[in-house]
Amino acid sequence: MLEQTLNGLQYGVMLFLMAAGLTLVFGIMNLVNLAHGSLYMVGAYLATAFTEKTGSFVLGVALALPATLLVGVVVGGEHAPGLQRVFTQRTPTSGRKRSAVRDVVER
């Protein structure tokens, strides 16, 4: 029973962190960024690979944390500036769309 409780707590915390990251990015940049899930996937893969290589779960996770950070920094630093420029471009009609939505919401 304790193991199930801890598994549920761990899963809930993971979902909270992913949702909080999505909410913060969307709230600040008005852009939906789905990279958090892929970063969790890379971390899980690296933790599994390091655990198999070392034979120790704790050592595998300890090695996977900085490796995942490094992968995120490299990939994010490489792709983020170009993608951000493309996705945050203003179109001639973007201001009119926002004001139309604002008019509907305020009524």
Output the pLDDT for position 88: 65
Do 14 and 44 lie in one domain? The reply is no
CA distance 68 to 47: 9
* pLDDT digit string, tens, across residues 20-78: 877 776 667 666 666 667 788 888 999 999 999 999 999 999 999 999 999 888 887 77
Whether the predicted pLDDT of 90 surpasses 80? no
Do 9 and 22 lie in one domain? The reply is yes
CA distance 65 to 50: 11
Number of C-beta neighbours around residue 61 at 10 A: 15
User: Number of structural domains, the chain?
Assistant: 2
Do 19 and 39 lie in one domain? The reply is no
Question: Which range of residues forms the domain containing residue 7?
Answer: 1-31
| Measured CA distances, 21 to 3, 16, 24, 31, 43 (Å) | 27, 8, 5, 12, 16
Average pLDDT over residues 14-20: 84
Using a 10 angstrom Cβ sphere, with 0-12 exposed, 13-18 middle and 19 or more buried, the burial of residue 67 is middle
